[in-house]
Amino acid sequence: MALKARHKRFVLIGIGLALIGLAAMLILNAFQSNMVFFYTPTQVAKGEVPKNTGFRIGGLVEVGSLKRGDDGLTINFVVTDTSKTVPVIYKGVLPDLFKEGKGVVAQGKIGADGLFVASEVLAKHDENYMPPEAAAALKSAQEQSKTLVMPTK
């Protein structure tokens, strides 16, 4: 009844490979379903964003747009990439470095009314540091405005 040594080795290797395959499937599947994409306010305005899944937006907090609810915790603000804007609502305590006119990244979903409901607001680390996504949004907006402006000249 006992298996030969060589067969045992095959069994071991077979089980090992099957398990590694399973793990790889698990990892790739988890990766696929948990990727969060980033969009600029211009892309949001064009309607290029997913309807039902969450994503990230980034840009500057428009100066003068920050409004607080009476509870002190419901916050409305507008994210701009200097060409288009997205209104955002967030309930919670803002990070230390959240300021009007500074870079911000928010993660959440967009409603049918075009209001971005943020589950998380990120603004971190130092006064001059711009979240990379926010910087990219501004840069691409500038590049687009250049391409739009150039032909008219």
Nearest CB to other proteins, comparing residues 35 and 112: 35
The residue among 16 and 64 lying less far from other proteins, judged by its C-beta, is 16
Kindly tell me which of 52 and 152 has the beta carbon lying closer to other proteins.
52
Q: Distance between CA atoms of 77 and 61, rounded to whole angstroms?
A: 7
Minimal distance, residue 148 CB to other proteins, in Å: 21
In the complex, least distance from residue 112 CB atom to other proteins, rounded to whole angstroms? 25
Shortest reach from residue 135's CB to other proteins, in Å: 7
The distance in angstroms from the start CA to the end CA of the chain is 88
* 8 Å CB contact between 60 and 101: yes
**Least distance CB 27 / other proteins (angstroms):** 5
Question: Could you identify the residue written with the tokens 């899944």?
Answer: 53
- Cα–Cα dist 21/50, whole Å: 31
> What does the binding site for other proteins look like in residue numbers (CB under 8 A)?
5, 8, 11-12, 15-16, 19-20, 23-24, 26-27, 30-31, 33-38, 56, 68, 71-73, 92-94, 96-97, 125-127, 129, 132-133, 135-136
Nearer CB in complex with other proteins: 62/133:
133
Who contacts 15 (Cβ-Cβ below 8 Å, separation ≥6)? none
Question: HSE-up of 88 (CA within 13 Å, CB side)?
Answer: 33
